[in-house]
Structure 1
Amino acid sequence: MEARSSISKILVVVLIISMLLMATSCGKIKDKIGEKFTEKVTEKVLGEDVEINGDGFKVNGEDGSFETGEDLDWPEDVMGDLPEFKGNITTLWKDEKSCSIVFADGDEDDVKDYAEELEDIDFEDGIETDQDDIFMFSGTRESEGDTITITYSGTDDTVTIFYNKEQ
Structure 2
Amino acid sequence: MKKENRILALLLFAFLMFGLLGCSSIEDKIAEKATEKIVEGATGAQVDVDKGSVKVEGEGGSFEAGQDMDWPQDAMGDLPEPKAAVTGVIKAGAESCTVTFTEMVSDDAKEYIAALTELGYKDGMNIADQESLMLAGTKDDGSSVSFIYNITAKEGTVTYTKAAQ
1:110 Cα offset (Å): 0.8
Instruction: Report Cα offsets for 1:123-147 as digits up to 9, x if no partner.
Output: 12222111111111111101x1011
Stretch of structure 1 that moved more, 46-55 or 124-133: 124-133
> Equivalents in 1 of 2:69, 2:82: separation in Å?
12
Alignment of 1:7-22 (within 5 A): 7-14=8-15, 17=17
Q: Please tell me the residue identity of whatever aligns with 2:100.
A: V
> Equivalents in 2 of 1:119, 1:33: separation in Å?
48
Which residue does the alignment assign to 2:61?
Answer: 64
Change (3 A) 1:84 1:8: same
Stretch of structure 1 that moved more, 71-80 or 31-40: 31-40
SS in 1 for 2:68: coil
Identity %: 37
Ranges of 4+ aligned residues in structure 1 off by more than 6 Å: none
1:81 Cα offset (Å): 2.2
1:26 Cα offset (Å): 8.3
> Equivalents in 1 of 2:108, 2:58: separation in Å?
33
CA contact (8 A) 1:111 1:150 kept: no
Which residue does the alignment assign to 1:119?
Answer: 117
1:33 Cα offset (Å): 2.6
1:117 Cα offset (Å): 1.1
1:14 Cα offset (Å): 4.5
Alignment of 1:16-165 (within 5 A): 17=17, 28-95=25-92, 96-142=94-140, 144-165=141-162
Gaps of 5+ in 2: none
Instruction: Report Cα offsets for 1:21-71 as digits up to 9, x if no partner.
Output: 67xx98722222321232123212211100101212111011010111111
Q: Please tell me the residue identity of whatever aligns with 1:94.
A: K
What's the TM-score, normalizing by structure 2? Answer: 0.86
> Equivalents in 2 of 1:164, 1:26: separation in Å?
35
Larger Rg: 1
Gaps of 5+ in 1: none
CA contact (8 A) 1:102 1:159 kept: yes
RMSD: 2.2
